[in-house]
Amino acid sequence: MTLLLSHYYCRHMADRYSTNSSALIVARSPGRVNLIGDHTDYMGGMVLPMAIDRYTTLTAHQFDTSLHLLSDNQPEPLDARLPIVDPSSTTPAWGRYVTGVAHQMQVARGFWGSVSTTLPLGGGLSSSAALELSTALMLHSVNDLPIPTALELAQLCRRAEHVATGVPCGIMDQLTCAAGVEGHALLIDCYSMLVSPIQIPHDVHVYVQFVAHRQLASSAYAERVAQCNRAEVEIGPLRLAEVGSVRNISDELLRRRALHVVGENERVRRATMALALQDMTTFGQLMNESHFSLRDNFEVSTSQMDAAVETARAIPGVFGARMTGGGFGGCIVIVADATANLQHLQGVMHVKPVGGAEIL
Ligand code: GLA
């Protein structure tokens, strides 16, 4: 049905707009899973995610002055005239990630085509960042602009998300999807924006289990960012703070929030070392500790995610499991050896680390 619709739409658009049909361009971006280091990026902290072999793919022709896009996963197409003035009011809402990028770029030429994805939507695997990045690549291409660096692309898409959705996200999702390296996780210092690829041993397997849909825009994500900022007013940058100074924060809630960020930065450093040394037992323990801190100190897990994490951890061969991404639903990530049998877990996917967004 979707394919038929997509076919009809492309024919319709071709008849309506294109007598001289321009070349077909394909831009695609992977999603990401974060192995460890959540709710640290927007405080300039450390994260260790990887780009995964699930993609959002945009297939389009250049088209003057408008954006027309049919989605394989959404009932309503996007139809928007350039220049985009207020991406936050675009309907349907999924189109805001597209118009948000066009708004940042202030380009003259748009495109018409379709978008499809193998990422679960609203699943905490960066389907939004993947749509933003494929849009940014497509708009560069149809406007004959040189493709910027991965970091520049990521910063552009992050600004687009802020303006289009109001979610004050960090840089992790966009930078991971843009800068992914096959076979590697990325250690990202979200203050200096330095990206260091860390090889994942061949016999280490990464799984993602989908637990529940969530939307960061309607979650307490922005509230958590604000709480961390308030903690910084008391003790200075959390990325430089030590657990000892966190104890000086007078408010109990802010103290726990800060304790998570400071502890999580340290866990990322230790987990990176463990991964580099192929010490997967330590790596798994740090993943488990990260989950407890996100659950108890940061309060972004859910009982469903806690239960899924517990079940996964009890399986022989599993090194560690934790919620991944912003939380309030979404996915958990499981790291295991080759003997672990996870097939009976509902909604589980084996994911591999891949390279970043590209024009195919
Ligand atoms: C979401 C945001 C990221 C990051 C994570 C939590 O995915 O988009 O910037 O803050 O949550 O680590």
If asked whether residues 37 and 158 sit together in one domain, one would say yes
User: 109 alpha carbon to ligand 1 midpoint, in Å?
Assistant: 31
**CATH no. for residue 93?**
3.30.230.10
pLDDT, tens digit, for every residue of 119-137? 988 888 999 999 999 999 9
Q: Which of 188, 212, 237 is the last residue of a domain?
A: 188
How much is the pTM?
0.93
In a domain, 38, yes or no: yes
Q: Which residues form the domain of 56?
A: 2-188
The DSSP 8-state label assigned to residue 94 in this structure reads G
Radius of gyration of the chain (CA): 21
DSSP-derived secondary structure for 101-160: HHHHHT-SEEEEEEEEESSPTTSSS-HHHHHHHHHHHHHHHHTTPPP--HHHHHHHHHHH
Instruction: Give the residue, out of 36, 41, 265, with the most ligand 1 atoms within 8 A of its beta carbon, to mutate for a pocket test.
Output: 41
Under 8 Å between Cβ of 199 and 186 = no
- Going from the C-alpha of 306 to that of each of 281, 320, 352, the distances in angstroms are 20, 13, 24
In 3D space, the residue among 291, 357, 355, 356 whose CA is nearest the CA of residue 318 turns out to be 291
User: 168 alpha carbon to ligand 1 midpoint, in Å?
Assistant: 9
pLDDT, tens digit, for every residue of 257-281? 999 999 999 999 999 999 999 999 9
User: 41 alpha carbon to ligand 1 midpoint, in Å?
Assistant: 7
Q: Which of 123, 153, 188 is the last residue of a domain?
A: 188
In a domain, 232, yes or no: yes
Percent of the chain at pLDDT above 90?
89
- Going from the C-alpha of 349 to that of each of 211, 342, 345, the distances in angstroms are 12, 9, 9
Q: Is 306 exposed, middle or buried (0-12, 13-18, 19+ CB in 10 A)?
A: middle
Ligand 1: nearest atom to the Cα of 126? 7
In a domain, 356, yes or no: no
In a domain, 194, yes or no: no
Q: Which residue has the tokens 């499991």?
A: 321
If asked whether residues 240 and 180 sit together in one domain, one would say no
In a domain, 193, yes or no: no
Domain total in the chain? 2
Question: pLDDT at position 19, please?
Answer: 42
If asked whether residues 63 and 27 sit together in one domain, one would say yes
Alpha-helix runs per DSSP H in the chain: 2-17, 96-105, 127-142, 150-165, 172-179, 221-235, 243-246, 252-276, 280-296, 303-313
Both structure tokens of 31: 């999603």
Hey, whose CA ends up nearest to atom 9 of ligand 1?
170
pLDDT, tens digit, for every residue of 17-60? 444 468 999 999 999 999 999 999 999 999 999 999 999 999 99
- Rounded CA-CA distance 199/91 in Å is 41
- Rounded CA-CA distance 288/298 in Å is 14
Q: Which of 131, 162, 188 is the last residue of a domain?
A: 188
Both structure tokens of 248: 């000086």
If asked whether residues 74 and 161 sit together in one domain, one would say yes
- 14 pLDDT above the threshold of 80: no
Under 8 Å between Cβ of 174 and 154 = yes
The DSSP 8-state label assigned to residue 283 in this structure reads H
Peptide bond just before 83 cis, omega within 30 deg? yes
**CATH no. for residue 323?**
3.30.70.890
**Average pLDDT, rounded, for the chain:** 93
If asked whether residues 57 and 162 sit together in one domain, one would say yes
Question: pLDDT at position 217, please?
Answer: 66
If asked whether residues 182 and 268 sit together in one domain, one would say no
If asked whether residues 249 and 301 sit together in one domain, one would say yes
If asked whether residues 8 and 46 sit together in one domain, one would say yes
In a domain, 79, yes or no: yes
If asked whether residues 157 and 63 sit together in one domain, one would say yes
If asked whether residues 231 and 170 sit together in one domain, one would say no
If asked whether residues 135 and 208 sit together in one domain, one would say no
- 322 pLDDT above the threshold of 50: yes
If asked whether residues 161 and 271 sit together in one domain, one would say no
In a domain, 55, yes or no: yes
Q: Is 125 exposed, middle or buried (0-12, 13-18, 19+ CB in 10 A)?
A: buried
| Mean pLDDT calculated for residue range 230-247 | 95
Instruction: Give the residue, out of 32, 126, 131, 173, with the most ligand 1 atoms within 8 A of its beta carbon, to mutate for a pocket test.
Output: 173
* Cα dihedral 35, 39, 45, 50 in deg (nearest 10): 30
